[in-house]
């Protein structure tokens, strides 16, 4: 009796485990993702980043809102997207630990590029518009940043501008092309008003996604041949 119950239970357990779906993120998609993009939404939790001069909006909140729009736009274009955060919280309790975890995610093996989303602030309130930073000395990073700022300016109807060299943690650390996007200035009245508007947020996100895809297609028109395939 006891033995047959055991047998029955183990058959039940085996049949349960046998029907478990495979543990991959692509089970619902017919096509394997073409590219692997890591998205980093700046700040979060205790670290608000810049604060909107007129509305008091936290940069961390806009980074998440616009970042998620970028993520969906990239997924719609056939990318696999890994986010450094998916909610309003920081990644750790201290800035140092937060940046360490962010850095580890940004260096995940197999990525084609990384994109960090931020909002700008400056003492001169007339300064406005998006900017894209690449790691100074990185030709790939420069090409990615220029593709993104070109598509971003086109999407929001601004004159084209050059990508800027910089030396930031989020562009210095990854070994793949990396860009830091400053979507606009929270110190500028016009930019702040626009950045609060969902339709403008979507235009920013579509522009960033278009730029990333344009860069990746130039680099590898057939899609990545990494472990994701």
Non-local CB neighbours of 74 within 8 Å, separated by 6+ positions: 37, 39, 81, 209, 212, 213
State which residue, 43 or 69, has the beta carbon closest to Zn ion: 43
Two tokens, residue 94: 């201290």
State which residue, 205 or 228, has the beta carbon closest to Zn ion: 205
Site size toward Zn ion (CB under 5 A) is 3
Q: For Zn ion, which residue of 42, 44, 67, 130 counts as binding (CB under 5 A)?
A: 42
State which residue, 42 or 67, has the beta carbon closest to Zn ion: 42
Q: Is 34 in the site for Zn ion (CB under 5 A)?
A: no
CB of 42 to Zn ion, least distance (A): 4
State which residue, 111 or 181, has the beta carbon closest to Zn ion: 181
Q: For Zn ion, which residue of 118, 128, 142, 203 counts as binding (CB under 5 A)?
A: 118
Among the listed ranges 37-45, 89-97, 130-138, 195-203, the one in contact with Zn ion (CB under 5 A) is 37-45
- CA 36 from chain centre, in angstroms, equals 11
Q: Among residue numbers 132 through 191, which ones bind Zn ion (CB under 5 A)?
A: none
DSSP for 83-138, please give it: ES-SSSS-SSSSHHHHHHHHHHHHT-TT-SEEEEEEEE--SSTT--S-EEEEETT-
Two tokens, residue 19: 């029907």
Non-local CB neighbours of 94 within 8 Å, separated by 6+ positions: none
Q: Is 49 in the site for Zn ion (CB under 5 A)?
A: yes
List the Cα angle 154/212/166 in 5-degree steps: 90
Q: Please, are residues 49 and 118 in contact by the beta-carbon 8 Å criterion? A: yes
Q: Please, are residues 131 and 185 in contact by the beta-carbon 8 Å criterion? A: no
Q: Is 203 in the site for Zn ion (CB under 5 A)?
A: no
DSSP at 73: H
Among the listed ranges 18-26, 49-57, 150-158, 212-220, the one in contact with Zn ion (CB under 5 A) is 49-57
State which residue, 42 or 129, has the beta carbon closest to Zn ion: 42
Among the listed ranges 15-23, 43-51, 101-109, 198-206, the one in contact with Zn ion (CB under 5 A) is 43-51
Positions that interact with Zn ion (CB under 5 A):
42, 49, 118
């Amino acid at each position: 009796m006891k033995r047959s119950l055991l047998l029955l239970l183990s058959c039940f357990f085996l049949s349960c485990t046998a029907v478990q779906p495979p543990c991959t993120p692509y089970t619902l998609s017919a096509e394997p993702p073409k590219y692997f993009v890591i998205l980093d939404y700046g700040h979060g939790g205790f670290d608000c980043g810049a604060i909107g001069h007129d509305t008091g909006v936290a940069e961390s909140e806009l980074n998440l809102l616009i970042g998620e729009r970028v993520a969906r736009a990239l997924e719609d274009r056939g990318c696999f997207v890994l986010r450094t955060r998916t909610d309003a919280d920081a990644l750790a309790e201290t800035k140092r630990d937060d940046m360490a975890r962010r850095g580890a995610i940004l260096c995940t093996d197999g990525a084609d590029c990384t994109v960090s989303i931020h909002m700008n602030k400056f003492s001169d309130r007339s300064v406005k518009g998006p900017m894209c930073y690449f790691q100074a000395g990185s030709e790939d990073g420069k090409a990615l940043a220029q593709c993104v700022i070109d598509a971003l300016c086109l999407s929001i109807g601004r004159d084209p501008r050059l990508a800027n060299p910089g030396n930031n943690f989020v562009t210095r650390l990854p070994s793949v092309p990396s860009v830091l996007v400053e979507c606009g200035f929270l110190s500028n009245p016009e930019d702040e008003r626009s950045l609060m508007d969902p339709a403008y947020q979507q235009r920013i996100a579509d522009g960033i996604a278009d730029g990333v895809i344009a860069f990746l297609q130039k680099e590898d028109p057939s899609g990545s041949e990494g472990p994701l395939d």
